[in-house]
Amino acid sequence: MNISYYTIRAGLNPAVGFGYAGQNIVNSLQEMGHTVKFANSKAPVQLNFTQPHHFKLHRGQYQIGYTPWESTKIRPEWRDRFNECDEVWATSDWTAEVYKNNGVTKPIFVYPHGIEKRWSPYKRVLQKGKPLKFLHVGEPSPRKDGQLVVDTFIKLFGNNPEYHLTVKCHGSSTIRIYNSRNELISPDEMYSNITIIKQEYSVDQLVQLHHMHHVLVYPTWGEGFGFIPLQALATGMPVISTYDWAHYQKFLGPLKLRSRLTDAAKEGVPKAVGDAHLGSFYQPDKEHLEDQMVDAAINFKAYSGYYFTQSTKIHEEYNWIQLTNNAFDHIFKKFS
């Protein structure tokens, strides 16, 4: 079958979520034997995988609008653009419910993202004399709250050499702390057990980084899908993360992080988050984050076994080919 795929130029960059997911969607369709061309108005169907105001809707072509989203409200112009499509796809049940509650009347289907085989399971063992290594990924996105991770780590573990925190950034870091002269500095300038990585990594390098660490700490305020926790879980890594938004929340297990819905405009919400979104987010519980980090450290051996055991099941349920076939099955039947 011929399928048209459309996104904006920025959505073609595999270093960001849209590009990474889109690459896997197109690859999956091609592996299944379908022909995928970019913005092909002659194909019977087009998948628009971008934010709704960027959809390119060709007349006479069956249009699918597919977009992740993180908060409880969408802009009215997004609702109207969705309703110009023939059907709408969401990345999770939670996101689908948001679209429905915001006035999207076209049929809504859920097409969750998948996991690549390269995110292989790895049994983590804490070696004697070596630190337990926490990892955070997602800085400088304020929604992922790297600042909270660093502040909590310093409060709990300070310069204790038995613990280490690595913050993997996408190009830059906004995390700052005050030194003794009341100056704002990067935390790795003051704490020898904190590492900030700003350079870009390939996917294989990211997999290796995950294998080298013990626990992912991810107090996100919400995700359209949330590649980062799923990738960590797929490697068998214990994950501390909020969960109400997650399609895969059953796999987040005993280290799930409590949160509460908080209006994006309220004080305490990161400004860049509130400015970009409407509605409410899942604000992570700071005290519970402290409890979960201490618990993960004390009981690491048990958690390592628990999360490693379920990693094979994650690869089975989030197989890109199977998910893509499930999502497109009714389209194949309608147009083949």
Indicate which CATH number applies to the domain containing 198.
Answer: 3.40.50.2000
From residue 199, give the alpha-carbon distance in Å to each of 168, 211, 217: 8, 18, 20
Q: So what's the pLDDT on residue 266? A: 78
Based on the fold, state whether residues 94 and 217 are members of the same structural domain. Answer: no
Based on the fold, state whether residues 105 and 158 are members of the same structural domain. Answer: no
pLDDT band at 269 (very low <50, low <70, confident <90, very high): confident
Based on the fold, state whether residues 312 and 185 are members of the same structural domain. Answer: yes
Is 248 a domain residue? yes
Based on the fold, state whether residues 162 and 103 are members of the same structural domain. Answer: no
332 alpha-carbon distance from chain centroid: 28
Q: So what's the pLDDT on residue 16? A: 86
| CATH (domain of 47) | 3.40.50.11930
Based on the fold, state whether residues 253 and 174 are members of the same structural domain. Answer: yes
Decide if 118 contacts 202 (C-beta within 8 A): no
Q: So what's the pLDDT on residue 275? A: 66
Closest to 34 measured CA to CA, from 324, 304, 237: 324
Is 74 a domain residue? yes
Based on the fold, state whether residues 107 and 142 are members of the same structural domain. Answer: no
Mean pLDDT lowest among 9-13, 84-88, 201-205: 9-13
Provide the domain count of the chain. 2
Report residue 52 as tokens. Answer: 């709704």
| Confidence check: pLDDT of 276 > 80 | no
Q: What range defines the domain where residue 325 resides? A: 2-114+320-335
pTM: 0.95
Is 127 a domain residue? no
